[in-house]
Every structure is written in C-alpha cells, then in structure tokens.
Amino acid sequence: MRTRTWLSAAAAGLLLFGAAYAVAQAPKPQDTEQWTPVPPIVTPGPPPSETSAAPPSDALVLFDGKGLDQWVATRDKSPAAWTVADGILTVSKAAGNIETRRSFRNYQLHLEWRVPTDVTGSGQARGNSGVFLASTGPGDAGYELQILDSYRNETYVNGQAGSVYKQHPPLVNASRRPGEWQAYDVIWTAPVFAADGALKSPARVTVLHNGILIQNDAVLAGETLYIGKPVYRPYTSAPIKLQAHGDPSPPLSFRNIWVRELAGP
C-alpha cells in the first residue's frame, strides 16, 4: 500500500508540474511587446482649427458632425450608438466598437481624434482606442492603427499612438497633449490573396500623424493579435472600425472622418 501511495503521489506531482509548465509556456501579451528603441519626439504644428477643412470632392464623408448614418455596431450591425453632440462623436464604451456600413479595399483615410483633458491612467490604460483599417471579424479582429495618449505617457513602443499595434512602432512620436485635436492621414493597401487563400502580397500602410510621417509604406505581417504573432486570414473587402476600448479612462472623441477609395496597385 505504501508503494501504491508513493506512486500515486508521484503521478499527481508530475501532473501538477506538467500543468504549471504548460501555463508558464503559454503565450502572453508581453511576448510581443517592444520597448526599445523609443521613437524620438517631434513637436507638430498647431492643432487643426475648430472648423476643419472640407474633404476632397471625391471623398465619402463618414462623419461630418451630423449623425452616424455611415456606421453600425460591430457586434450585431445595429445602428451605431455612440454619442453625437456639438459636431463631435464620442466613444460609448458600453455600446462597443462601431464600423462603417460599407466595405473597402484600398483607400485614403482622414480622421481627427482627441483625448480628453481630464484623461486618467497610464500606459495602455490612458486614452486607448484604435482605428482598424480592415475589420475582418467581430470584436477586435482586423488591422489596427493604435490611438492612445502618448504625450508623456510611457508604454511599449509598438503599442503607442501611431503604431501598427504589436507590429510597427511609429517612426517618431508626434503626439499633442490631451485636450488638443490630432489627425491621422492614412494610405491603406489591402493584402491580396490567391483563390486558395494563399497570400500573394501583404498589406501595406503609410500614416501621417499631425502632418508628420510616422509609418512609411510599412509592410504588415498579418492581422493584429493581442497575444501571439500576426496572422493573415483571406478577405476581399472590409469595413473600417473604431474601437471602444475597455480601459477606465474617460472616452475619446472623433470628428471630420472621410475616405477616398483608391485603385489597387
């Protein structure tokens, strides 16, 4: 009986060790965080005026301060339920992510965003949101250009404002202080897939933050993943998505969003 008891205890110990080892080896968010080199700070020019410039004549206006007809809730495609007041769109974290009714492939995108003056928290819990340049599924599936308060706010560099999240840090930190409007101008080239789903050419993106180049024809390794390496999943066209991140800081606002569809390369 003593031998059996010892063997049972040894087996149980091995099982516990194996479980602990598996947990230790499981992928973690920190595995894909990059902390150096830190992008240099470049001070942009003055913020956009309260009356933003008119969009180009061939642009599709996604938000002009008057309503959310061009947007739906990502989770169930119901009408978008973020707050519109005084020409400004403010995130509703309870309502969740929103995305465009229409799908796109290659395009030029302009949007302006503002972290509230009373923002709280630090790191990723400070003014967190994102624009998904192709929303390929529910939740946070797709290709994310990070939005964050990166004015004197330390975090991993491939998670700061202007990063292609968990892939490419911005070339420089062009962030304005909380309470000031900021602008992204994006050129998005969608990935191309063969009939069997194989990747023929990767996604590419160029981004200007407050008029300063921060992503220069960056080649993406796949869709954004919080845990694990980026991966590609075949798609033809996809909506543009804005994220309602669950961090506890006060919500961000947006204005003056438009898109111009572009021919493929």
CATH of the domain at 206: 2.60.120.560
pLDDT of residue 26: 82
Give, rounded to a whole angstrom, the gap between the first and last alpha carbons of the chain.
75
Q: What local confidence, expressed as pLDDT, does residue 228 receive?
A: 92
| 245 conformational bin, left if phi > 0, alpha if psi -120 to 50, beta if neither | beta
Give the model's pLDDT for residue 254.
Answer: 98
Q: Is residue 7 part of a domain?
A: no
CB under 8 A, 24+ apart: contacts of 48-53: 48/112, 48/181, 48/183, 48/256, 52/112, 52/255, 52/256
pLDDT recorded at residue 199: 98
The answer as to whether 17 is a domain residue is: no
Question: Does 16 map to a domain?
Answer: no
Is 9 domain-assigned?
no
The pLDDT value recorded for residue 23 is: 47
What's the whole-model pTM score?
0.88
Residue 22, pLDDT > 50, answer no
pLDDT(13) > 80: no
Please report the pLDDT score of residue 18 as a whole number: 54
DSSP string, 49-61: PSSPPPPPTTPEE
Q: Which domain holds residue 225?
A: 32-261
pLDDT of residue 138: 86
pLDDT score recorded for residue 52? 63
Could you read off the pLDDT of 127-157 as tens digits, one per residue?
A: 999 999 999 988 888 999 999 999 999 999 9
* pLDDT for the residue numbered 15: 53
Q: Across the chain, what does the average pLDDT equal?
A: 91
pLDDT at 8: 61
What local confidence, expressed as pLDDT, does residue 247 receive?
86
33-45 mean pLDDT: 95
Burial-class residue 49 by CB neighbours within 10 Å (0-12, 13-18, 19+): exposed
pLDDT in tens, 174-183: 999 999 999 9
Query: pLDDT class for 227, splitting at 50, 70, 90?
Result: very high
What percent of the chain stands above pLDDT 90? 80
For residue 19, is it within any domain? Answer: no
Whether residue 15 is contained in a domain is answered as no
pLDDT range class, residue 84, cuts 50, 70, 90: very high
Is the pLDDT score of 16 beyond 80?
no
Given a cut of 80, is residue 12 above it in pLDDT? no
Is 130 contained in some domain?
yes
Q: Is residue 113 part of a domain?
A: yes
The pairing of beta strand 71-73 with beta strand 199-201: unpaired
Domain count, the chain: 1
